[in-house]
Every structure is written in structure tokens, then in C-alpha cells.
Structure 1
Amino acid sequence: MIRFWRIVRIISIASLVLTFGAIDANAAGKKKPKSLTAVTCLTRLILGEAGLESTKSRKAVAYVAVHYAKKLKRTVCKEFYSGRYSVTKCKRCMRIVIATAGEDWKKAKAVAIEMIENPVPPDPRLLGATTYVRWAHASKKGAGWIRQNTCRLAKSDVQIGKHVFRKECVQPETRVAASQPISSPPIPLRPKPKPPKFIALK
């Protein structure tokens, strides 16, 4: 009787292993939908900027970016959905990525709206994050944002595919509000020289 139950247990375990193996094989053969490739692309871009360790939090940040893009009726480019890491060439997609890479997720919507509507290059102090990615405007190569050319890779650089993302540090004192215009501090004027004192001779 004991042998019979042992055989039944072994058969049940083997059947479970075979069924789960077949499910995993079918899942691996199917292609992921376009929304998942966009999320993974965003997740890899934000990974070096936000420094998030949890997988759920990374996907949440990526979903926020895609959600705001759809809510604002802004379509992302085809290369963005294909996951070919050509997001850096699209001004609209790159601004959404930078906006969601900030530390404060609640302000991501306002920053995304402002960066999409504002044609000027994104200023790192407007992002509200201590780290940012330095970008330059590709005026000669058409509309879009590209990273500034660098010769060597630094320790703070993050390489994803063919693209390299350089992180710089900004002190908390340099943070300013998005509505506040950025202006250089006024140059202090030199004090006027005092006239020499004359002593009356007796």
C-alpha cells in the first residue's frame, strides 16, 4: 500500500513538472506586445538615473511615463515601441523619460507637461533630482536630443546598447522651481573710493 502511494506521488510530481515546462516553453515562443517592449525600454533608460532596485517600482515608473504620454495625446515614435534604443533621437520621448526619472514621482506629470510644451533644452535644475543626464541639441542633424560627445567612459556612465548616458551631480542648493526663471546672479559693484580727508593747519 505504501509503495502504491509513493508511485502516485511520483507520477503527480512528474506531471506537474511537465505541465509547467510546457507552459514556460509556450510563453517563451510568443512575442511580447508592443507595450511591454516600451516599458522595458523605459525601464532600462531610467535604471541608471533613478537608481531603483525593485522591479515593480521600475515598471511603475515606466508605466507612468507611457500613461502620461497617452493622456496628453502625445504619440511616441515607432522606434520607441520597437525597443531599438533610438529614444534619444526623439525630443518628445526623451523629455518624458527625463521627467519620470526624477526623484519625486508626483511632480513627474507637471514636469512632463512643461518639458513637452517647452521647446528649450531641459535644464537639470528643473528636474528636481540630484543626478541628471547631460544632453545637447542636435541642430545640425535635425530636431532631437543627443548626448554630448565624450571620448572615454567614466565610472558614472551607464551604457545601454549603443548609447551611453553620463550622469552629473547637482547640489541641492541649486534646485529651483519650474516656474522660476533661471538668471545669473548680479555682479556686485565696486564701492566708490572715499575722498581723502584734509587736516586744517593751524
Structure 2
Amino acid sequence: PQPSVAPQPLAVSQPVSAPNRWIIKGVWEHGSDGMDDDALLNDPAAGELQGRLAERRARTGRRCFAERFVEGREFAVALLADEGGPETLPPAEIDFSAFPAGKPRVVGYRAKWSEECFEFRHTPRRFEFKPSDRPLLQRLGRLAIDCWRLFDLRGWVRVDFRVDDSGQPWILEINANPCISPDAGFSAMLQQASIPFDRAIERILEDVLL
């Protein structure tokens, strides 16, 4: 499932954690542009959420929406085209353990692009998991493949998830052309899978061009 959104809520289930906590995101912007701690809104009063959306649009000139914030763990699952269908690469989890209490556990703009910031230096990916996480990781992999098939995706994809306190995964984003720069998450997953970068590019081109 996907967290509900405003201003037009979807008829979907709600996360069990943070039932009235929202995060404001841009409709068209990539790379978490404009998304940092102040993008979160806790327990808004009637009309406050719509007011914040209108205020941000007036200030930035960009359309935005609010999504139910899912408190919990954050994962990314990448898929790479292969002859027999997409291959699931080793999943990554964002490590928020260095964040102080009360700081939103969000991979926002500073975490991705501001190398001198606390957020950038304290949101590493990790690939080592406890045996008890195996069923969850397998479920995330199946959901990512379902996304690939549902949207008829090609080449390479990354699906981002949050997992709430009950263990329920929520799909945040299906990225149909994730960054493949050497320091990007997709490249790190290729390395974990022992797939040479050049070979990955060949597989992408074979899938989308042939």
C-alpha cells in the first residue's frame, strides 16, 4: 500500500504509527528538493494542512502535496533487468541511529546533497541484516517486482519503502530512472551484488533497446 495523500486523500489503509503526521513533498521535484525537517507537520488543526500546502506553493511557485508520514524503518530495493526478468539487488536500509531524539528520520535534501551537514554524514546505507529480517526483506523484494510488472518497467528501477511499527511496508516511491552515479544507492547495490557497473549498463541497454 501507499500512504494516503492530501489534498485528495486516497481510499487506502493508514499507517499504524503517527496517524496524524504529514510530510509535504513537491509534485514534480526530484532529489528531495524542498524536503527537510520543516516539511513535517504534526497533528494539524482543521484547515492547517491545506494552508501549509497553499503557503508553500505561493512561496516556491511549485505544486506540492502532503503524504501521511510513516514513522519507522526506511528501505530501498533496486531491480536490474535480466533475460529471465528483473533481478532483485541486495536491499539497503538507511541508518538513522545517530539522529537525536525528536529529529525527524527523513532522507531530505540536506541528507542527499549537503556534504557538510549532519544529515548527509549520518544517513549511511547498511546491507547487513539480522536473520529475523529475512521475511520482511523477501516481502519488499516481491513488492518491488510487483511494481515492475504492474507499471511495465524496463532497465533499472528503485523502489523506496517505509516499514511501520507493525512491520507493514508502505511504498513511498517507484523511481523508474534512479541515479546511477558512482556514489548513488543503485551503484552501491550493484557492488553488493558483485555486478560490474559496465555489465549493468549493458543489461539496461539490452532491455530497453532490443
TM-score tier (shorter): under 0.3
> Which has more radius of gyration?
1
Q: Which has the higher contact order (CA 8 A, sep 6+)?
A: 2
- TM-score when normalising by structure 1: 0.23
Q: Which has the higher helix share?
A: 1
